Amino acid sequence: MKNAVQKFGKFLSSMVMPNIGAFIAWGFLTALFIEKGWIPNKDLNSIVGPMLTYVLPILIGVKGGQIVAGDRGGVIAAIAVIGVICGSNVTMFIGAMAMGPFAGWVIKKFDKAMEGHMPAGFEMLINNFSIGIIGLILSIIGYYLIGPVMTGVLHVLNGGVQFLINHSALPLVAIFVEPAKVLFLNNAINHGIFSPIGAEQVQQAGKSIMFMLESNPGPGVGVLLAYALFAKDKVTKNSAPGAIIIHFLGGIHEIYFPYVLMNPVVLIAPILGSMGAIFFYTATGTGLSGPSSPGSIFAFLAMAPKGTQITVLIGILIAAGISFLVASPIIKMSGAKNLDDAEDQMKDMKAQSKGIAANVSGEVKKIVFACDAGMGSSAMGATKFRNRIKPLNLGITVINTSVDNIPEDTDIAVCQVVLQDRAKQSAPQAQLVTINNFLQDPNLDALFAKLEAKADGSEEVAAAVEEEVEETGSFNDKIMVEEGIKVGLSSVSKEEAIKAAGKLLNELGYVDEEYIDGMIEREKTVTTYMGMGVAIPHGTAATKDRVKKTGIVLLQYPDGVDFGDEKANLIIGIAGIGDEHLELLGKITTVIGDEEQLEKLKATKSVEEVLAMFK
């Protein structure tokens, strides 16, 4: 349940966080130019309302659509969100958070249904009209249904907040907020829940206490100060002052989370500190005119309306003071704790909240290896890892695909570091493992170790599930031929080696000449070095239509070709149509997975011997 909440919270905050700059611009507009601002200006004040009503919700909706369905999702989300905005009389942040991803999901389903069914030459027409027509329909639905529903939801939330304020109970939210922060739900809470309510209150009163509930730096400062003075472990004691500077001045609240995790009882301190500050702010009617992000002293004071800076600062001091007084005796009575262990725990928790499988949690049924085109790197990586976990009998399906088409039922997605943003957009629900190469990477070893730990001690395990290319019964002589194998080549540059592989593919009739440029472009985007002295250059997704027939060539460089800090002795050029090449790639993966066979492959001078290894 914790992982599900973290994923949902991360999804909410991922729509808002990229747009924080726009929120800050709106916050400054409000603080400076409204009637009660620092320098009231009627003309500039006229920008405040449209930015709040239209710009911010549309930005949130567009990001939500992009996360689900890329650029097309962003465009259709913008169209649909307008209906939600116009169908409500309140600021529609929450409506945009609902409609944006929904619109992206709808267009993604439409595109999937149209795959392979669009007449040649009509693709652009269908793509443009589909967004226009479906977007219009969703906009109408947003106007008549989602807008009014979300208005009701927001009124309920506002009513709940007002009830808490009227009954002096708002400080109680600290009981939930502070533990949630340590679980890395701080951004989700602040920008997914408090900011929409705060924006509505700012529109009416020019300020809102909602912007102060999560971002107050005082509680964390109190905890860190107590550790700096009373911690028994020298490493912890010496590190706390630096953490105070980063937290208080830089606004990075995550810096104090390990100190709380070292001794969970300390969590009482920031809870009580936050409650004290909220009580003070409620009693004095204090609020901010925009979100304080990051939650530093500078951002906090910058968003304070004219004449309230002293009051805002007093609230921070109250929070820090109470937190310090409560944390100090707890830390004094505690034994020496290991900060490194707490930081490791924090990294695992943070990884889970961001969808990164530092810990493999929950049931794992499908692991997907993803590369740019889904043609070669991911196929070899999936084959090797599938064979590796097969003895564990965990019933896990391991497949490969392009990074932009990761299936919705993926539990763990594996991709290279430079592709992680695209992977998150393609499969926000999946845990993410980032690697440098597909055959030999520490993070793959860590993933295997986690899966192995799941298998240990379990007597009731399912048979391993394999998704492999259907056996044809014989080796396809047309995919790899003697003329496509070159051994004993002199070392050249990486670009020259890739061009040589592409030229050989072209000469053998596997690809058009333009495919070679795609191979070079692919290498600029993300390396095709696989590890273990093997590189498999191939074209980008955009050049797959330049493949005439499936083919694989192999160039052997005994002295190696420099691929960054690594040397590749084997350059395996790939051109694939559909899945025709995957069986041979699987065989190649098996061969290079055998150390003796791999060394023989790197050194042999016989083309016939190379070909025989893959039959």
Q: Give residue 339's pLDDT.
A: 56
Mean pLDDT of 101-112: 92
Residues 125 and 173 placed together within one structural domain of the fold: no
- Is residue 314 situated within a structural domain? yes
Residue 612: Cβ-neighbour burial (10 angstroms; 0-12, 13-18, 19+): exposed
Q: Give residue 335's pLDDT.
A: 60
Residue of 433 and 467 predicted with greater confidence:
433
Contacts of 536 (CB under 8 A, 6+ apart): 376, 377, 380, 528, 530, 571, 572, 573, 574
Q: Give residue 329's pLDDT.
A: 94
Task: Report d(CA 469, CA 452) in Å as an integer.
Answer: 25
Residues 163 and 238 placed together within one structural domain of the fold: no
pLDDT-based confidence at residue 475 (cuts at 50, 70, 90): very low
| pLDDT above 70 (res 110) | yes
**Last residue of one domain, picked from the residues 167, 184, 203:** 167
Q: State how far the alpha carbon of 494 is from the alpha carbons of 134, 379, 557, in Å.
A: 47, 22, 11
Residues 187 and 199 placed together within one structural domain of the fold: yes
Query: Which CATH number belongs to the domain containing residue 553 in this structure?
Result: 3.40.930.10
Mean pLDDT of 73-89: 93
pLDDT-based confidence at residue 2 (cuts at 50, 70, 90): very low
Residues 182 and 258 placed together within one structural domain of the fold: yes
Residues 287 and 377 placed together within one structural domain of the fold: no
- Is residue 30 situated within a structural domain? no
Choose from 155-169, 493-507, 567-581 the range with maximum mean pLDDT: 493-507
| pLDDT above 50 (res 210) | yes
Task: Report d(CA 426, CA 17) in Å as an integer.
Answer: 18
Task: Kindly report, residue by residue over 315-328, the tens digit of the pLDDT.
Answer: 999 999 999 999 99
Q: Give residue 166's pLDDT.
A: 74
Residues 311 and 200 placed together within one structural domain of the fold: yes
- Is residue 25 situated within a structural domain? no
Count, residues in the chain: 615
Please provide the average confidence, as pLDDT, over all residues in the chain: 81
Task: Report d(CA 393, CA 563) in Å as an integer.
Answer: 36
Residue of 54 and 383 predicted with greater confidence:
54
Q: Give residue 363's pLDDT.
A: 76
| pLDDT above 60 (res 471) | no
Residue 28: Cβ-neighbour burial (10 angstroms; 0-12, 13-18, 19+): middle
Q: State how far the alpha carbon of 558 is from the alpha carbons of 278, 294, 502, 561, 573, in Å.
A: 69, 53, 19, 9, 17
Mapped onto helix, strand or coil, the DSSP state of residue 556 is strand
Q: Give residue 466's pLDDT.
A: 43
Q: Give residue 419's pLDDT.
A: 82
Task: Report d(CA 173, CA 283) in Å as an integer.
Answer: 16
Q: Give residue 391's pLDDT.
A: 86
Q: Where are the alpha helices (DSSP H) in 115-167?
A: 123-141, 147-166
Mean pLDDT of 1-15: 60
Residues 414 and 505 placed together within one structural domain of the fold: no
Q: Give residue 169's pLDDT.
A: 85
Percent of the chain residues past pLDDT 70, beyond the cut:
85
Residues 206 and 121 placed together within one structural domain of the fold: no
Range of the domain at 423: 355-455
Residues 330 and 398 placed together within one structural domain of the fold: no
Q: Give residue 345's pLDDT.
A: 52
Domain count across the chain = 4
Active site residue 415: no
Residues 185 and 220 placed together within one structural domain of the fold: yes
pLDDT-based confidence at residue 184 (cuts at 50, 70, 90): low
Query: 191, 247, 253, 371: which one is catalytic?
Result: 371
- Name the strand (E) or helix (H) holding 77: helix 56-86
Q: 597 near 489, Cβ under 8 Å?
A: no
Mapped onto helix, strand or coil, the DSSP state of residue 566 is strand
587 alpha-carbon distance from chain centroid: 33
Active site residue 581: no
| pLDDT above 50 (res 462) | no
pLDDT-based confidence at residue 174 (cuts at 50, 70, 90): confident
Q: Give residue 180's pLDDT.
A: 76
Taking the CA atoms of residue 310, residue 316, residue 318 and residue 319 in that order, the dihedral angle to the nearest 10 degrees is 170
Q: Give residue 357's pLDDT.
A: 44
**Last residue of one domain, picked from the residues 101, 136, 167:** 167
**Token output for 521:** 């472009």
Q: Give residue 544's pLDDT.
A: 78
- Is residue 296 situated within a structural domain? yes
Q: Rg of the Cα trace of the chain?
A: 29
- Is residue 500 situated within a structural domain? yes
Task: Kindly report, residue by residue over 347-381, the tens digit of the pLDDT.
Answer: 555 554 444 444 455 678 899 998 876 666 777 78
Q: What is the largest CA-CA distance in the chain?
A: 86
Pick from 40-54, 463-477, 601-615: least confident: 463-477
| pLDDT above 90 (res 296) | no
Mean pLDDT of 262-277: 91
Residues 269 and 381 placed together within one structural domain of the fold: no
Q: 11 near 63, Cβ under 8 Å?
A: no
Look up the pTM and report it: 0.49
Closest residue by Cα to residue 553 from 511, 492, 494, 490: 511
**Last residue of one domain, picked from the residues 136, 167, 198:** 167
Task: Report d(CA 587, CA 33) in Å as an integer.
Answer: 68
| pLDDT above 50 (res 468) | no
Task: Report d(CA 32, CA 27) in Å as an integer.
Answer: 9
- Name the strand (E) or helix (H) holding 333: helix 309-333
Q: Give residue 376's pLDDT.
A: 67
| CA geometry: angle 551, 553, 554, nearest 5 deg | 155
- Is residue 476 situated within a structural domain? no
pLDDT-based confidence at residue 271 (cuts at 50, 70, 90): very high
Residues 121 and 233 placed together within one structural domain of the fold: no
- Phi/psi of residue 575, nearest 5 degrees: -140, 115
Angle between helices 93-114 and 195-205 (to 10 degrees): 130
Mapped onto helix, strand or coil, the DSSP state of residue 354 is coil
- Is residue 342 situated within a structural domain? yes
Query: 191, 247, 538, 581: which one is catalytic?
Result: 538
- Is residue 125 situated within a structural domain? yes
